[in-house]
Amino acid sequence: MNTILIVGYGSIGKRHFKNIYGRPSTRIIILTKQKNLHKLEKNGVIVTHSIKDALEYKPDIGFVTNETSLHIETAIKLATFGMHLFLEKPLSHSMKNINKLTKIIRKKKLITQIGCHMRFHPCIIKIKKLLENNSLGRIISVDIESSSYLPDWHPYEDYRLGYAARDDLGGGISLTCIHEVDLLYWFFGKPKKVFSITGKFSDLKVKSDDLSVMTFMLKNRVVGEIHLDYFQRPEYKSLKIKGTKGTLFWDSTCNELKFFNHRSEKWKSIMKLKHFQKNSMYVDEIKYFFNSIKNNQKTMNNIIDGKNTLEIVLTSKKSSKTGKFESLK
């Protein structure tokens, strides 16, 4: 039997709980500040309010889904206990104590995964395969956009109080929407240098950045651009990759992946998802994590990858302050 500890019971903690609940031979513990969760307890879920109490149940897998600013502190405690770790993105809001956590993970030979669900979108998976097969020829540039309206994320609560709107909790657009940076990193590796304009530009009442425009110099002279914002309606995501053989384009509006072939001068539909359910990505990433633990295999997005994507974002924020390109190690 697996005993799973979920630390944090906000929106993403609840999503992961719902996707795990009912899994055979699984006991779930929720560590939260919230009270009056009697319905969960009646259904066999253990609810605790301290790490000490939670560890008495000897969990072997931990889900770190609390505020970003608490991720590393929490993960160190869970890893020291010997738990395999699923850490929600971003890994943290700073590089502090990440090396300490990494050393514990290596010493105890733990499996780790960063929660970047976009890697499990069918169109994104197809893009990754097309790039690996050199279907676009030599890549010249990549453009990624993720725009949405923060108050629409959780209409049932005051957006100003959520971690995404607060720097002190590790929020802000560039950290909260790190998925796009993660995809750039997954496709092309760690950038050589980055320039960004990141800050608060809209009328939203947030205490964090709400716009980030980043330009990257990648390996092999590939130029990357990412646009992130909290203030657009309707929500929109897109990805465009230009190569010597043609252009690959995906957007979230119709969930279609298309390729423009330079030779035929025609667009071709590669994949179109008619009844796509967003939650399927979260289900698939958890299945992948559990299978990695079962097979004792390193995941494709482990603690080192999470550290690298965090470094990219923090370096971009530094660039916004210095007003110049900043290099990555």
Q: How far apart are CA 181 and CA 150, in angstroms?
A: 19
pLDDT score, position 312:
98
Sign of CA dihedral 111, 116, 117, 123: negative
Q: How many residues does the chain have?
A: 329
CATH number of 2-117: 3.40.50.720
18 Cβ neighbours under 8 A, 6+ residues apart: none
Judge contact between 292 and 299, C-beta under 8 A.
yes
pLDDT score, position 120:
98
- What are the extents of the domains in the chain? 2-117, 120-275+301-327
- CATH superfamily, region 120-275+301-327: Dihydrodipicolinate Reductase; domain 2 (3.30.360.10)
Render 65-88 in DSSP notation, one character per residue.
-S-GGGHHHHHHHHHHHT-EEEEE
Where are the strands (E) in the chain, listed by range?
A: 2-7, 26-31, 46-48, 61-64, 84-88, 112-115, 139-149, 193-199, 211-217, 223-229, 231-243, 246-251, 256-261, 266-272, 326-327
**Residues 98-138 pLDDT 10s:** 999 999 999 999 999 999 999 999 999 999 999 999 999 99
pLDDT score, position 70:
97
**Pairing relation of β-strands 84-88 and 193-199?**
unpaired
pLDDT score, position 74:
98
Instruction: Tell me 157's DSSP state.
Output: S
Judge contact between 149 and 93, C-beta under 8 A.
no
Low-confidence ranges of the chain (pLDDT < 50): none
Ramachandran sector of residue 44 (left: φ over 0; alpha: ψ -120 to 50; beta: rest) = left
A 10 A CB-CB count for 161 gives 11
Does the model's pTM come out above 0.85?
A: yes
pLDDT score, position 12:
97
Bridge partners for 39 per DSSP? none
Q: How far apart are CA 214 and CA 173, in angstroms?
A: 12
pLDDT score, position 88:
98
pLDDT score, position 329:
86
